Structure 1
């Protein structure tokens, strides 16, 4: 049971960006999706979360085919984008309530989880704040809290470390490790591989819209000699 991307080709309109991409993200693991700018990472993510339709190939999550069971498929995903997406007219508390309603969560259990996460990321006294008062790093933390109150089976996290302080980075990695132990799968893109090299189980290296290499994270340097860890 896992995310399976099989022979995926796709892009934007008539432009084909991805060509015959295949990889698997097993449950209970973290897969690092790496590549230089323009390699196809964002396009891959946009296909996996259902924003783009494949020109060819299939995407399944725990036996749910995206094109045939889109609601059941997407209900299993929590997505944290590189640029935080918040509603300026909603308070932090209202953002969390909206997430709970969208995922049909038990509010009592969800708020207990939210309270823990808010304390971890030092947001517990900001429930009535509007996003206009949040820095980029705080907005990123809001997105993390919203994602981790869910029971998602797959977390897709796009460049999560760019706006976070060192303490928040460590807190996020701890949360990822805890969820991995519960069988949750993670697909994460980053340009700072040294931050996750001890937490990632495998990698997929994209180059020019194709999978140029993939394997265990410990083998990254030998399999991708053109990049050193930290430049991905």
Structure 2
């Protein structure tokens, strides 16, 4: 099972202004707890007590609130970004002696994903993404053809199904080593760029489709819905 967790808490949360003008996004409350505390508690439920937290925007507020993590029963080590480095770029800032697999979560997510499933997939794969199923309604009739003018099917106002990136990743020790050896510290590298690098280098990538609760709190309408001030669309 995972021994280590990593929470991305350095974003500016521009889509949540004016709330994030004063409070960093991971500290926005949901109920009586901030988002990042809910993530920490979920990690601890799976026995993860050593947690790295990457910070940048209003980092002193985040550090002052979380401190060393002991109040939550965990040990927190801060990864300080000189500037925004992206998820993969932040992983390049892990201590030089770190040599293990790790579960990584965006700092604006509330999700009850089973980390043990991701851990099991890492026995066969090098990088595991969490996928979330979403259905997008189309307000028109959709016509299907077979490459000619012939009409094959007509579906009225369908809902198209997609698997979206859920922002939670299982990262193998092999990938950590690759990042350390190939990504300069403080260089911006996001996860879409990393997975392409992994694929080009013959690594095995997988998606765990999570069917439970998942809330991305990165947009004002999502946050308002989650806190009871709007209609929940998730």
Query: TM-score w.r.t. structure 1 length?
Result: 0.28
Which structure shows the bigger proportion of residues in helix conformation? 1
- Between Structure 1 and Structure 2, the one with more strand by share is 2
- Greater gyration radius: 2
TM-score by length of 2: 0.28
